[in-house]
Structure 1
Amino acid sequence: MRGADPRVVLGLHRSRHERQLLTGALDLGVTALDTSTNYLGFRSHQVLARTAGDLLPKFTVSTKVGYFPGPGGSEHSLDPVRLRAAVEQAARDLGQEPDLVFLHNPEHSLREAGPHGQRVLTGACAALDDAMSKGLCAAWGIASWDPSSLAGLIGPTAPRPATLMVRAGLLVGVRTLDAADALIRAWDLDPSEVWGMSPFGGSANKSVWAKIDPRVFLADSRQLSCLQVAFIAAYHLPRVDTVAVGTDEPAHLGELVGALVGKVEERAFQEYRSLLRDHSRDQPV
């Protein structure tokens, strides 16, 4: 078993939640596990406890609250009472208090909050902060797929999250990258407090990965695959110290952990973002 590597989190979105995946992750030194109340048809926590309850104490476990069973499959809510109840339920279903609970895609409900957005977001953050103070979780954070609306809603009384998780990687548009940076600045977060997610834009099998060669970002001559370099690029777009990545194959996870030896050219990412920004200005409105 390798030593623990805090730079990689095993994400369970779309995962089958098989025990061999968790044991394989531990063998690779991946000791952080990320799930959500709504994963696996709102059964993720129960399935984890049933199939790998003895393994969970070996992981730092993060989960997310914000989506609830509803008409058509799910509904989103930032109601503080529902969020607090969801954290309590997560602890019961997992058989242990989560190490980290994310407020899941708050922008989903904030679209409808209108001028009350700041108050709604502050109330939701306060609910998770209170859950932490009551011992229902060790820390809380925010996971946002589209953070563009959030930075302007952070009021002076909003509690500060311990962790922010945002999309990262070569397939993230400049608007989202800039919005993530704005949110990081607004909360004065260090890179060690920021996670990236979805480094392959949802799938490493997308056709785009056969059409580009991200190895132009490498600063050394290590023989890494295009997907390995795309993975380490996610640590720089935006700047994060940890990336959550989903897979059901321990071998694939091992390839990604092995990519972390690669060194990249920081200036290349600065130029890349500049090119993205220039391209976005040229697009018709």
Structure 2
Amino acid sequence: MTALDTAAAYLGFRSHAVLAETAADLLPKFTLSTKVGFFPNTGGAEHSLDPSRLRLAIEKAARELGREPDTVLLHNPERSLTSLSPDEGHALLGSACTALVDAARDGLCRAWGAAVWDTRLLGVIRLEDLPPPDVLMVRAGFLVGIELLDSTTVLRNVWQAGETWGMSPFGGGNGKVWEDFDPRPFLRTPHDGLSRAQAAFRTAFHLPSAAAVAVSTDNPGHLAQLVQALGAKVDTTAVSQYLRALHGHRQS
């Protein structure tokens, strides 16, 4: 494992400090990404795309981590856009993107992007003239519906995103799904004894096509199994057939 992904809001806004304390001198050996956009308040957390608050959050992240993160992502930017008109959303998202572009230019991170939970909510924003993100992190895997997969494809093409990263391939840890559904036929044979969870994780790199997929766990053995699954080959023809079936089901 060589990459870590976190967010300012994780662990009750203590994730950066805890990670720095836990990893100590090992932290520089990892590629590190984090997210900004949620801020503590008396009710727990509030979301904001205010560029000055984002800039301060990025500076704070570097201080707490003891190093600059490699990538900084806008954390669920759609949260602050849903109540705005398309023009207002365009202006607000544009100013937020510019804040991250400036942070990268100033050496506070190497790359920037957005972690979007519901890509459909950005569909009304005119993205063509906004700064294109280096990274677009989106939900990935079998538990993502075809409408969301289609909106993700449109979003990353229109916004001219660089890399796509996946997240939440297990849908929040709903293990019962994999008792009822076996994703191993989506791997090329032989499966080398891989579990259903391993097959689901490996196939998530193609739903949608992603350069990386982030997972969370408190079980090192689980992470070891997922790393092992990276050596498996995905049957891309089976994945294409699956997507066509989802489209057909939606249209029927």
TM-score by length of 1: 0.84
Q: Deviations over 1:168-203 (max 9, x none)?
A: 00000111101111111113345xx11011111111
Which residue pairs with 1:217 in the alignment?
Answer: 186
Q: In the alignment, does 2:217 pair up with 1:247?
A: yes
Distance in structure 2 (CA, Å) of the matches to 1:155 and 1:218:
36
Q: 2: CA distance between counterparts of 1:137 and 1:154?
A: 26
CA contact (8 A) 1:151 1:186 kept: no
Matched, 1:171 2:140: no
Where does residue 198 of structure 2 map in the other structure? 228
1:113 corresponds to: 84
Separation in 1, partners of 2:211, 2:50: 31
Distance in 2, matches of 1:71 and 1:110, equals 22
Work out which of the residue numbers 203, 208, 212 in structure 1 matches 2:177. 208
How far residue 156 of structure 1 moved from its aligned partner, in angstroms, is 4.2
TM-superposed deviation, 1:266: 0.9
Number of the residue aligned with 1:45: 16
- The one-character-per-residue Cα deviations of 1:93-152 (angstroms, maximum 9, x if unpaired) are 111111100001000010022231111111110111011111111111110000112244
Q: 1:159 aligns with which of 131, 145, 148?
A: 131
Partner of 2:239: 269
Which deviates more from structure 2 when the two are superposed, residues 36-45 or residues 71-80? 71-80
Q: TM-score, normalised by structure 2?
A: 0.95
* Letter paired with 1:199: P
2:114 corresponds to which letter in structure 1? I
In structure 2, the residue corresponding to 1:55 is in which secondary structure? helix
Aligned to 1:127: 99
Post-superposition CA distance 1:228-277 (Å, at most 9, x none): 11011101100112111111122111111111121121111111112222
The equivalent residue for 1:79 is 50
Match of 1:142 in 2: 114
- Given residue 177 of structure 1, which amino acid in structure 2 is its aligned partner? L
Amino acid of the structure 2 residue aligned with 1:206: G
Which protein, 1 or 2, shows the higher relative CO under an 8 Å CA cutoff with sep ≥ 6? 1
Runs ≥4 in structure 1, deviation > 3 angstroms? 154-157
- Between the aligned partners of 2:127 and 2:12, the Cα distance in structure 1 is 34
- Contact 1:113/1:120 (CA < 8 Å) preserved in 2? no
Stretches of structure 2 lacking an aligned partner (at least 5 in a row): none
* Residue identity in the other structure for 2:225: E
Is the 2:128–2:158 contact (alpha carbons within 8 Å) kept by the matching residues of 1?
A: no
Following superposition, the deviation at residue 46 of structure 1 comes to: 0.9
Letter in 2 for 1:167: R
Seen in structure 2, the aligned counterparts of structure 1 residues 155 and 170 have a Cα distance that, compared at 3 Å, is closer
Percent identity, aligned pairs only? 55
SS of 1:199 mapped into structure 2: coil
User: What is the one-letter code of the residue matched to 1:265?
Assistant: D
1:96 is aligned, of 49, 59, 67, to 67
What is the RMSD computed on CA atoms of the aligned residues? 1.4
Instruction: Provide the rounded CA distance (Å) in 2 between the counterparts of 1:266 and 1:189.
Output: 23
Instruction: Give the 3-state SS of the residue equivalent to 2:202 in structure 1.
Output: helix
